[in-house]
């Protein structure tokens, strides 16, 4: 009687589909690296050059920005009624406004006074209160100037 071999694992090596899969993955990884290599090499070879470009761009942008002081603002807070606040600040103007600068700064000061008169003392106490005040004033200034003023720099704040 002849013996029949039981069916089992094929003898041989790695199946062909595993080799094909590894080949495709290797090709994809090589292609991806090939697309990324020029950017990586560009950054690696010229850090001084890119730093010089960044500095030139920052200098050009800084030349456009103008710091205009606002008149000091003194007003009372909403509560307690006998609490006074004095704010000295400047506006960072992105572009030259020419004759519009004076009226725009006056309108911004008026808007700031109106806002400060609605604040209770508790809302601006502490570091987080000051940060919220700064953010609220910056939002108001940007809206009032239609984006021409990028930031309101608070130079002094006294509450008495």
pLDDT tens by residue, 35-94: 887 777 766 555 666 677 777 777 766 567 788 999 999 999 999 989 999 999 999 988
CA atoms of 133 and 131, how far apart (whole Å)? 5
Q: What is the rounded CA–CA span in Å between residue 150 and residue 138? A: 8
Position 12 scores a pLDDT of 59
| Stronger pLDDT, 78 or 13, i.e. the higher one | 78
Distance of CA 99 to the CA centre of its chain: 31
Query: Looking at the domain that runs over 65-159, which CATH code has it been given?
Result: 3.30.479.30
86 within 8 A of 157, measured Cβ to Cβ: yes
State the pLDDT at residue 6: 59
- Give the global pTM: 0.60
- Residue 45: how many other CB atoms lie within 10 Å: 10
Within 10 Å of residue 101's Cβ, how many Cβ atoms?
15
What distances in angstroms separate CA 98 from CA 3, 64, 93, 132, one per listed residue?
A: 104, 13, 11, 31
């Amino acid at each position: 009687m002849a013996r029949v071999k039981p069916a089992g694992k094929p003898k041989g090596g790695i199946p062909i589909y595993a080799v094909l899969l590894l080949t495709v993955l290797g090709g994809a990884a090589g292609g991806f690296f090939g697309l990324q290599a020029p950017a990586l090499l560009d950054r690696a070879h010229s850090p001084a050059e890119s730093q010089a470009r960044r500095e030139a761009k920052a200098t050009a942008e800084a030349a456009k920005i103008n710091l205009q002081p606002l008149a000091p603002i003194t007003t009372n807070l909403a509560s307690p009624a006998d609490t006074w606040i004095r704010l000295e600040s400047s506006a960072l103007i992105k572009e030259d406004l020419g004759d519009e600068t004076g009226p725009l700064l006056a309108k911004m000061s008026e808007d700031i006074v109106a806002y400060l008169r609605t604040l209770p003392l508790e809302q601006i106490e502490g570091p987080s209160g000051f940060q919220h005040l700064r953010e609220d004033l910056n939002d108001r200034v940007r809206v009032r100037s239609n984006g021409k003023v990028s930031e309101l720099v608070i130079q002094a704040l006294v509450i008495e």
